[in-house]
Amino acid sequence: MTELQSLIAKMTLEEKAALCTGASAWTATPVERLGIPELTCSDGPHGVRRVPDVNSITVESLPATCFPTASCSASTWDLDLVQKMGEALAEECIALNVDVVLGPGANMKRSPLGGRNFEYYSEDPYLAGEMAASLIRGVQGKGVGTSLKHYAANNQEFQRFTISADVDERTLREIYLPAFEKAVKEARPWTVMCSYNKVNGTFASEHHYLLTDILKKEWGFEGLVVSDWGAVRDRVAALKGGLDWEMPGPQDRHVQAVVDAVRSGELDESVLDEAVRRILRIVFKAKETPKGGKFDVDAHHELARKVAAEGMVLLKNNGLLPLKNQQHIAVIGRSAETAHFQGGGSSHINPTKVAVPFKELKERAVGAELSYAEGYPTDNSYRPGMIDQAVGLARSADVAVLYIALPSFKESEGYDRNDLDLTGQQVALIKAVSKVQPNTVVVLNNGAPVAMGEWIDGVAAVLEGWMMGQAGGAAIADVLYGKVNPSGKLAETFPHKLADTPAHLNWPGGAGQVRYGEGLFIGYRYYDMKEIPVLFPFGHGLSYTTFAYSNPRVSAKTFKDIDGLTVTVDVTNTGGVGGKEIVQVYVHDQKSGLVRPEKELKGFAKVALEPGETKSVSIPLDFRAFAYYHPKYKQWITEDGEFDILIAASADDIRQVLTVNLESTLSLPCILDKESTIREWMDDRRGKVVFGPYYEQIQIQSRQTFGGGEGEGSIGVDVMEMMNDMPLVSVLMFMASALPVHPEDMVAGLLKQVHGME
């Protein structure tokens, strides 16, 4: 008997039930008589929201570093930097007596309208998974736990507590689960947090298939599953589903329900014991890290500044940036004086200090004159006087820098956006200023894409600053003045308009359901397949220098799926200043049994280069880079054939293409059944052997029965093309009189042969 098993054996039923529900808003239930300590958690994921009173959720938290939100950190494409951010978060957790920080969020950005998108990394599961795993490694490497959230298919705020995300198995496996899968398998988070919503009709908190079959059994998750705060409806059903720890507490009614269920035989006590074991393992693991002390406020502020600068994306630049020491700069927009650096809701941090953008710009603008106009109000009202004042300043200046922040009443946890627009005042302001001042720079502070069609042609430059964290004001100044060469690239597509977006026809649902009707095709996958032009593509980002790609090569032209492949390309800085380039590798399957996206991101690397310098960048691709999930086989499969390896600077900027040949090593079971079509019989390697000899006979017989082409006695179709996608048994029914046995018996015999070959 292990030590934990021995401890569980000493616990009363009531103690075990209580342990599976929190003692307060932020702590687990201790059992003092057995030396079981409490566990303390805190909101995250880009800062430690540690409240002084564990019985309160909304009270102001203790000061901590507000790092950039996930939309910004993902745009760094820098895994080492994100890991360092995780290490800093852990140091603050230790100082603030926090055992587990609630984050990162690995949900997909299904639509840019999602109110909580600023907390999530990407529209692409590969990138999101890499980012989440890196943050987890950073935090947990210091002995503090993480909570990977919100599992799963939690992609909107509308009816988030109740709505059912109705999504097919393949889409779930290829889009909405891989980021969680990668983080679980590669970084081993201490906890995974279930989401509020239902998935295909079952609450995520009770979802045995998601929590137990996939997460714990298939992926080998060894930690505990915790509910999102208030996500549990039926505590007994949740335990049966695989949810170990309910939060927040106390929940006496739920504790008693568990006790009663065990005593009545409704709940097997071994299920409760397993939840207790998982909780105790994390409780004691957390206590291995001593808590207390202080963290380096200034060092963490500087790290936040670096992450912000690396994540900012230069969307447009006609040569105006970087700024020189112009004589007069008109600084316009209230977010220049009142920094907009984080979103509303559970991730809202009480920052240790805040870099004011206007002040930081003044420090860089040596010898320049700076003037300021507020430009727009805090609310959604229209104030023409503010615009007039701004226009007056801009007209007399050499450059106008507009700080435009999407206000919290349009974007926050708790509600989704209604549109992609800035406020009417902000749009009018940008248009009016740029009309009188062609040297206009727009700096955006927002958590998700905004529409720019009304004004982007009139401005000289656009810098996407995101919700950039407490040091973001300094980072903006660093980028504007060239102290930092921008190297961020978009982790999500910026569309021209809302009607272009993948989920538009299925958003946000109603009557308790939202249908994921776009399937696999979210983000750039959708825009590729529909051939819809976008404002800025996934992976886009400009620099103050230029990069050339040359000498692309692969480790093998023909390879086995289990061996994978390494892609290498030489990248040269062909400009005049040092910079960083993000090399992206996408994979295109030339032919597949099921429809696949035109291309999918499967690898990337960020490389720093001095002017004239060349470096070779190598990116490995594994089995999963070439596989897709087949719902009938219920597994990831590869198929023999050719793949294009696309080496790119963005999803729309493909620099090099190589073609390779994959040899699949899979021996897949036969999935032919009595409803299988003729085409499916001929596409199956075993089926073709068994059925092939009959195929020509069926062709002859079908033409005799139905005729062919346009001639006399014909039904005016290509008969075999029509027949190929009919069930074999149905085709045989039309020619039953010419068969020696009944069509159903014939198909049954063929199936017996083909399944006997396995």
348, 354, 355, 357 alpha-carbon torsion, rounded to 10°: 60
Alpha helices in 313-410 (DSSP H): 357-364, 384-396
Match 């203790």 to its residue by tokens.
62
Q: Which active-site residues does the annotation give?
A: 228
Question: So what's the pLDDT on residue 706?
Answer: 65
**165: its two tokens:** 């995300």
**Identity of the residue numbered 488:** G
Structure tokens at 523: 């983000």
Q: Where are the domains of the chain?
A: 3-286, 312-530, 547-573+582-663, 678-755
CA distance linking residue 408 with residue 219, whole number of Å = 38
* Of 99, 97, 28, 90, nearest in space to 62 by CA: 97
Task: List strand residue ranges (DSSP E) for 664-743, in order.
Answer: none
What is the distance between the alpha carbons of residues 88 and 70, in angstroms, rounded to a whole number? 15
Listed in sequence order, the residues at least 6 apart from 99 whose beta carbon sits closer than 8 Å to its beta carbon are: 39, 40, 41, 93, 144, 145, 286, 287, 289, 291
| pLDDT beneath 70, residues of the chain | 1, 705-717, 758
pTM above threshold 0.75: yes
617-632 per-position pLDDT tens digit? 999 999 999 999 999 9
Which DSSP letter does residue 467 get?
Answer: S
Give the separation between CA 182 and CA 187, rounded to whole angstroms: 8
Distance, CA of 496 to CA of 670 (rounded, Å): 46
Which CATH code, of 3.40.50.720, 3.40.50.1700, 3.40.190.10, 2.130.10.10, is assigned to 312-530?
Answer: 3.40.50.1700
Alpha helices in 221-343 (DSSP H): 235-241, 252-264, 269-286, 297-311
* Three-state SS at 165: strand
CATH of domain 547-573+582-663: 2.60.40.10
CATH of region 3-286, choose from 3.20.20.70, 3.20.20.300, 3.30.70.20, 3.40.50.180: 3.20.20.300
Chain-centre distance for alpha carbon 341? 21
Are 413 and 309 a contacting pair, CB within 8 Å? no
C-beta separation of 130 from 79 below 8 A: yes
Quick check: 249 and 21 in contact, CB under 8 A? yes
DSSP 201: T
Beta bridge partners of 461: 317, 441
3 state SS of 656: strand
Helices 357-364, 472-480: inter-axial angle, 10-degree rounding: 40
If DSSP codes are grouped into helix, strand and coil, which group holds residue 17? helix
Q: Are 642 and 559 in contact (CB under 8 A)?
A: no
556, 558, 562, 567: CA torsion to nearest 10: 40
Q: Are strands 558-560 and 653-663 parallel, antiparallel or unpaired?
A: parallel
Contact partners, residue 6, CB within 8 Å, separation at least 6? none
Q: 3-state secondary structure string, 533-560?
A: CCCECCCCCECCCCEEEEEEEECCCEEE
Q: Is the dihedral of CA 615, 616, 622, 625 positive or negative?
A: positive
Cα–Cα distance, 441 to 344 (Å, whole number): 27
Helix-, strand-, coil-residue percentages of the chain, each rounded to 5: 35, 20, 45
What count of other Cβ atoms lies within 10 Å of the Cβ of residue 312? 30
Q: Degrees (nearest 5) of the Cα angle 143, 135, 306? A: 115
Structural Rg of the chain based on CA atoms: 29
The DSSP code for 215 is: I
CB within 8 A of 223, min separation 6: which ones?
A: 145, 188, 189, 190, 191, 192, 278, 281, 282
Peptide bond before residue 248 is cis, with ω within 30 degrees of 0: yes
Exposure string of 260-285, with b = 16+ CB inside 10 Å and e = fewer, is ebbeeeebeeebbbbbbbbbbebbbb
